[in-house]
Structure 1
Amino acid sequence: RFYSHQPDLNFKNPEVQKAVLGWIDFWFGMGVDGLRLDAVPYLYEREGTNCENLPETHQFLKKIRKYIDDNYPDRMLLAEANQWPEDAIAYFGDGDECNMAFHFPLMPRTFMSLKMEDRFPLIDIMQQTPAIPANCQWCIFLRNHDELTLEMVTDEERDYMYRVYAEDPQARINLGIRRRLAPLLSNNRKKIELMNALLFSFPGTPVIYYGDEIGMGDNFYLGDRNGVRTPMQWRPDRNAGFSQAHPQSLYLPLIIDPEYHYETINVFNQQNNPESLLWWMKHLLSLRKRYPAFSIGKLRFLFPDNPKVLAFITEYEDEKILILANLSRFSEHVELDLSEWNGMRLLELFGQTPFPEIKNIPYSISLNPYGFYWFLIEKTAPSRPSAERTEELTVTNEVNWENFFRKGNVYQLEKILSKYIVKQRWFAAKNKILKTVKVVEIIPFQLNDKKVFMVLVRVSYLKEEDNLYCLAVTFLPENLLETIRTQFPKAILAHMPQSNGYLIDAYFDSEFTCMLAKNIGENAKIKGENGILNAQRASEFKSLFQQKLIKECHPLKAEQSNTSININRKFVLKCYRQCSYGLNPDIEIGRYLANQQLFQQTPRYYGSLEYVSHEGEVISVGVLQQYIPHESDGWQYTIDNINRFFEKILAAPELAIKDYNIPEPDEYFNTAKQIPEKVKELIGEYGPLIHILGTRTAQMHAVLSLNTTDPAFTPEPFSTLYQRTLYQSIRGSYGRVINQFKKTVQRLDEANHALWQQIIETDRSFEEFLRKLLQNKISAKRIRTHGDYHLGQVLFTGKDFYIVDFEGEPARPLSERRIKRSALRDVAGMMRSFHYATQITLYGENSLVRKEDINSLKEWADFWYRWSCAYFLQGYMSVADHQSFLSSDIEDNSILLQAFLLEKAIYEIGYELNNRPEWVHIPCRGILEILGSSR
């Protein structure tokens, strides 16, 4: 069974055993993490047996394991026992022999399933695999240094494998096939990816044979198994970078097969190509490491009707991952019974792409030839507990639901609303202590045979100021609830079992929202108990309304502080949730820009819903705007570009950050004048497009700075009083954040604690910098601005940007949002958004960056962020230079910009400490960056 030159040791001899322990001391003393026990079933010999699996072997293994556990914790033994799994499991003992063992029979059956385009061989062997001790692990692989062994298959299966994978008899040896992974799979990239995806999906520890990560070839003419043991192909130069020796002195020659030649297939070439197999394998490894279910999860097969599709679940604690693999060379369709997870959704792990919600019907999916999916089965909005499916309130002692809206019974409605409102994403006071919820206005609507009531609700808190919220409520019978329950479960207010139906948020009722849009087109007035809801149509909407029948009104799912309705993909009805007395800036600025007709890169204003009380107080309830077809918002477009930038950097190790200038914040205006060519090459197409965004921003500010008779938009000059107010405001915010930091510092991790110390040490720098605001009178105009400007507030059409949502920061009072400010405050908001984008792409929970690459990308992230700011500012200044809303002194503009960057970062620290303490490092770094450059 073994070669004559291999040593044959007598393990019965105590001196041999002592020597073996000495060898263990030597290798573990050198820092080795584990030992592979080659042909472990044959350690001992006994006359009259085949020397396989003798009890003496197991006794000696227990002795070795105890010696290692006592002297070398965290080291491991790996058993090479080419046996059926029910036999190989003996080498785990009771968790006191080998830590791991190769799962040999799985390997050939993976290849067999792929060639047969049938999942049965894989499922069959996995179902025969017994449970193992909790402290043990299977070691799984596709190829290794030996032949693809066919010992653990039937004679018929072995004959089949020879015919399909080793047509040339010279590729066969012993009971196996001496080929590497890529040649076995005809160098088909999709097959190679699928096989590795399967390897990484099964529970256990996957092992990659050297060279398979780049698709190395083999040479079975070399004899024995040497054809799969040729030198690793590192580079396209001498000896493939494996050795500096004379090429003819190598023990085995290099691969020079034209298809796998070392000058083409090597690490250097693939490292420089982000689309290479090497990079794909790196991403696969990185993704697998994030989810424990892949390595230690419990396996459960699904059995859809299509046998060409392998489907299984691997789950560990609350983590459940669905794996789908198309074993066919053709596209395949499959329907899965996922009703066990009804109401949850599938999140595709590679792109973090959400798939449709799971329902109590077969889940339909199509797969490309040799395609596969890794899906996380998750709740519909895991990152925000408040947005998860709400627990339904059941109404007891029912009356007719319409009675809730009569004066004597409104307290029952208030009770329902008090439990409903606090669970909604648009409720902005989750950290406040609720005192009362009071209905202050009810506006009835009649829709054919259905009634809807719009209600204004005053929410009072124990200490803070009251808030006003707007909702609409209707009743829906049980048999009509399916769409709401599956797509918008948060819209359910209460269950009314005696009436066999539910109270729902009518903003998710298509019939009602279409009616609101029609009301705007008709300039309707709807009476309430204490005032009137005025539906006002812009003149431009009159002709559009007559031409278009309002139908197909669907709520947009990606919502936060408001609820928006897509109407025919022509209009958007935005319904404000948190309301205030006074005109909403979103409506006010929308009307103004529409009347000026000088800025086209924002949705056209078509009308509004405004409530006017009997006392004449105005409350903005909603606005109707143009629908803008778009590819994505600016945030997602930016995240995608940063990911591509990081891939480009990682694929070009010859690039050195020291060879590139990175602009400091106080140099932005000068740097933006001329961007170096080599920076343009690295940033790519994103730079020119962000330049366009800068010009659009300046064009918006130019229109908002026009002289007008409307006092709400008349520009006002800077004054020394305003400069002092700005100084005092930033200084006060900084002090409050420092106090907030002190209260939470003990809960911060070590890295954020260190940043806190640096912030404290910059107190003097902060004061010195801030006093620059008071040194000279700044000659510029204050104007109405966007007020909450960031990448999420622009829509990307594929070649241009539209600016949306002029509400300002919803958390601030409406009167504060209407204050005239420096246009550079918007510029600073966008630049802080660039910083957040780089940091979240690098460190975020769903980051595509491998942990081992983070350190090498930190400085490149700063490079990308700061040059993106320069591109944006370059575009901005191409329009804004010499405009009245900027100073003619570039130094004054630089001081203002840095002050607003500082103000925004201070605000962000407060937000992160309250909501995401683990992210406080982002604005902290922003502050340190500004103060560091200003010294």
Structure 2
Amino acid sequence: MLAELLAAWISRQRWFGGKGRPIDQLSIDSDVELTPGLRHLIVAVWQDDSRDRYQLLLGERTELPDRLNHALIATIDDIYLYDAAHDPDRTGWLLEGMAHDETRSGLRMRHVPGVEIDTSPRSLVLGAEQSNTSLVYGDAYICKLFRRLIPGINPELEIITTLAARNAPHIAQPYGWIETDLDGTDTTLAFMQEFLSNANDGWDLALASVRDLYASMPEVSAAEAGGDFAAESERLGIATARVHRELAASFPTDVVESHEVKRMAEAFRRRLGRAVAEVPELRQHVGALEDAYHQVEQLTNEVFVQRVHGDYHLGQVMRTPTDWVVLDFEGEPGQPLAERRALSSPLRDVAGMLRSFDYAARHLLAGHPEAAELEPRAQEWADRNRGTFLDGYVAGGGRINRGDAALLRAFELAKAVYEVVYEARNRPTWLPIPLAAFRPR
């Protein structure tokens, strides 16, 4: 009975990855009592002969406070069952377990050696819940519950703990994690870091700068507008290069020979073909894209590869009172773990941030009555901040030579092709944003 109720509930959750497809079967693979009134569940969801597994903190109460009504799953025998991640009266076990390195029925709760965890703060779920659920404890910690479970150590845990051991800058300090065995493999269930309570989101700061420019007189340039972001973009470039250097020093690196680079260009071309078939607006830009990919195929030099962020954009960085901090090193959550841990060119991250600057510049134009008049200002803002970011990246030790520039452009255009398909499927009014990437610069 519980499995049937969970199947009906889980399909409505934002973090559920199988939306739009019927659930053929849900089974409970693991059910561990953590404390009275709190159970940890791992459930397997079958859809179209494929299986995904998710974790759930299942709360039990004889009375449910109004503040938890939104988290209700079902009622069985006068017992309210609910998503206890939203219940600060139950989530203290996360802190307690990590602080004391507890192990319960295969759940291993650990803290980073040398740190102490204050178990007194109460939790609050962040509102921007996506593929994971993040709990903030006071102004001290943020704990990310990985809802969809993939066997293996999460790249974010692996990277952040390794960089912290080197005293690397530009990261939020790690405090602890929770793991279990899944298919005989150590698998990360949760990861807790320092909560940057006095920091500002990079995307929000960039949008504030764009708003200031749009609100200024037409003759005022992006450099003269009150919210000019260029200095911050340059500092972010320096920070990005430093993070790449730390990753290269901490994990294996390699070089990719020219024939492998050609395979990369072929993969870009195949994705373009599929995208054009789905979004006809791309067809007029195929020639320019083919030229960019051909430039990569002509490269004869080896390409340096290393561990990278993998999903880098303005929403993944925070500006503290002293500097930029990079977050969310888990890569693209929808990709297989092996791909997220694979070595890649650091230019992939650089390209992701360049695309993010374009998005920030044009985000406010979607549906704007004066979009056509503001487009040149958007382009000016994007060009200025892209340029200063690249200047900072080079100043910070990042390498972009002539051959690298061709590869960077190909990465950027391939990312824009992906964005075109995404926007066409999910936000058609935003389609002009990635399409603008194919204009000559």
- TM-score, normalised relative to structure 2: 0.94
Q: Give the whole-Å Cα distance in 2 for the aligned partners of 1:733 and 1:414.
A: 39
Q: Give the whole-Å Cα distance in 2 for the aligned partners of 1:510 and 1:451.
A: 13
1:925 aligns with 2:400: no
1:863 aligns with 2:380: yes
Contact 2:352 2:412 in 1 (8 A): yes
Once the 2 structures are TM-superposed, how far is the Cα of residue 798 of structure 1 from its aligned partner?
4.7
Q: Look up the match of 1:637.
A: 205
1:907 aligns with 2:430: no
Match of 2:74 among 494, 508, 512: 494
Once the 2 structures are TM-superposed, how far is the Cα of residue 472 of structure 1 from its aligned partner?
1.3
Once the 2 structures are TM-superposed, how far is the Cα of residue 687 of structure 1 from its aligned partner?
1.0
Superposition pairs for residues 31-180 of structure 1, below 5 Å?
none
Relative contact order: is structure 1 or structure 2 higher (C-alpha 8 Å, sep ≥ 6)?
2
Task: Give 1:737's aligned amino acid.
Answer: A
Match of 1:692 among 228, 231, 235: 235
Match of 2:169 among 600, 612, 618: 600
Once the 2 structures are TM-superposed, how far is the Cα of residue 556 of structure 1 from its aligned partner?
1.9
Offset from partner CA, 1:505-552 (integer Å, 9 cap, x none):
11112133211121111111110xxxx1111211132xx23xx34332
> For 1:762, what is the secondary structure of its paired residue?
helix
1:469 aligns with 2:57: no
Offset from partner CA, 1:851-887 (integer Å, 9 cap, x none):
2x33221111111011111111111110124xxxx36
Larger of the two Rg values belongs to structure? 1
Gap change, CA 1:912 and 1:857, over 3 Å in 2: same
Q: Give the whole-Å Cα distance in 1 for the aligned partners of 2:375 and 2:205.
A: 21
Offset from partner CA, 1:788-825 (integer Å, 9 cap, x none):
11111111225532111111111111111111111111
Q: Give the whole-Å Cα distance in 1 for the aligned partners of 2:173 and 2:97.
A: 18
Once the 2 structures are TM-superposed, how far is the Cα of residue 679 of structure 1 from its aligned partner?
5.8
Q: Give the whole-Å Cα distance in 2 for the aligned partners of 1:438 and 1:773.
A: 48
Contact 2:292 2:409 in 1 (8 A): no
Task: Give 1:814's aligned amino acid.
Answer: L
Gap change, CA 1:423 and 1:601, over 3 Å in 2: same
Aligned residues: 441
Q: Where does the alignment leave 5 or more consecutive residues of structure 1 unmatched?
A: 1-411, 656-677, 743-755
Offset from partner CA, 1:59-89 (integer Å, 9 cap, x none):
xxxxxxxxxxxxxxxxxxxxxxxxxxxxxxx
Q: Give the whole-Å Cα distance in 2 for the aligned partners of 1:452 and 1:726.
A: 48
Q: Look up the match of 2:96.
A: 518
Q: Give the whole-Å Cα distance in 1 for the aligned partners of 2:226 and 2:388.
A: 10
> For 1:432, what is the secondary structure of its paired residue?
coil
Q: Look up the match of 1:459.
A: 45
Offset from partner CA, 1:138-171 (integer Å, 9 cap, x none):
xxxxxxxxxxxxxxxxxxxxxxxxxxxxxxxxxx
Contact 1:525 1:535 in 2 (8 A): yes
> What is the aligned-residue identity percentage?
29
Gap change, CA 1:431 and 1:828, over 3 Å in 2: farther
Contact 1:441 1:457 in 2 (8 A): yes
Contact 1:517 1:624 in 2 (8 A): no
Q: Give the whole-Å Cα distance in 2 for the aligned partners of 1:628 and 1:856.
A: 38
- TM-score, normalised relative to structure 1: 0.46
Q: Look up the match of 1:74.
A: none
Offset from partner CA, 1:155-210 (integer Å, 9 cap, x none):
xxxxxxxxxxxxxxxxxxxxxxxxxxxxxxxxxxxxxxxxxxxxxxxxxxxxxxxx
Offset from partner CA, 1:614-660 (integer Å, 9 cap, x none):
x6322210011111123431111111111011111xx2x445xxxxx
RMSD, aligned CA: 2.0
Task: Give 1:611's aligned amino acid.
Answer: T
Superposition pairs for residues 398-417 of structure 1, below 5 Å?
412-417=1-6
Q: Look up the match of 1:75.
A: none
Superposition pairs for residues 329-348 of structure 1, below 5 Å?
none
Q: Give the whole-Å Cα distance in 2 for the aligned partners of 1:899 and 1:556.
A: 36
1:739 aligns with 2:323: no
Contact 1:540 1:606 in 2 (8 A): no
Task: Give 1:808's aligned amino acid.
Answer: G
Q: Give the whole-Å Cα distance in 1 for the aligned partners of 2:104 and 2:295.
A: 54
Q: Look up the match of 1:422.
A: 11
> For 1:733, what is the secondary structure of its paired residue?
helix
Gap change, CA 1:609 and 1:760, over 3 Å in 2: same
Q: Look up the match of 1:878.
A: 395
Task: Give 1:907's aligned amino acid.
Answer: Y
1:703 aligns with 2:246: yes
1:538 aligns with 2:112: yes
Task: Give 1:901's aligned amino acid.
Answer: E
Contact 1:689 1:799 in 2 (8 A): no
Contact 1:785 1:820 in 2 (8 A): yes
Offset from partner CA, 1:748-805 (integer Å, 9 cap, x none):
xxxxxxxx1xx31333332232111121223442111111111111112255321111
Offset from partner CA, 1:316-370 (integer Å, 9 cap, x none):
xxxxxxxxxxxxxxxxxxxxxxxxxxxxxxxxxxxxxxxxxxxxxxxxxxxxxxx
Contact 2:209 2:227 in 1 (8 A): no
> For 1:466, what is the secondary structure of its paired residue?
strand
Contact 1:582 1:620 in 2 (8 A): yes
Q: Give the whole-Å Cα distance in 1 for the aligned partners of 2:21 and 2:262.
A: 32
Contact 1:689 1:800 in 2 (8 A): no
Q: Give the whole-Å Cα distance in 1 for the aligned partners of 2:259 and 2:90.
A: 50
> For 2:12, what is the secondary structure of its paired residue?
coil
